[in-house]
Amino acid sequence: MSRRLAAARPLLAILALLGAYPASAEPRTSPAEECAVCHGLDGIARSADVPHLAAQNELYMYNQMLAFRSGKRPHKEMRYMARSISLAEAQALSAYYASLPR
């Protein structure tokens, strides 16, 4: 895989997530938009009690989302948010946030 394509992979994954939701009468948000509410689209949280996700380890973030989703890692808000995220979405979100500069 070329360097250019490798560098674009996380962005392509997040764009795929954003485009995965068809237009409808009721506006729906993508998982990336939902995460961005607290963690920022740039991965920099705006609140002191929310962790920054930019430049975090991709595998670590993926495993944490699965732990929140299963309830192995207790956190009320994250359990609620993660339970509707598919494995592919968790992977794409992890790749996206890991690709961002700190």
Contacts of 4 (CB under 8 A, 6+ apart): none
Confidence of residue 76 (pLDDT cuts 50, 70, 90): very high
Please state the rounded mean pLDDT for residues 76-83: 94
DSSP assignment, residue 51? -
Please state the rounded mean pLDDT for residues 31-42: 92
Please state the rounded mean pLDDT for residues 32-57: 95
Which is more confidently placed, 53 or 22?
53
Residue 64's alpha-carbon distances to 5, 51, 53, 56, 58, in angstroms, are 27, 13, 12, 11, 10
Among 23, 9, 3, CA closest to 58: 9
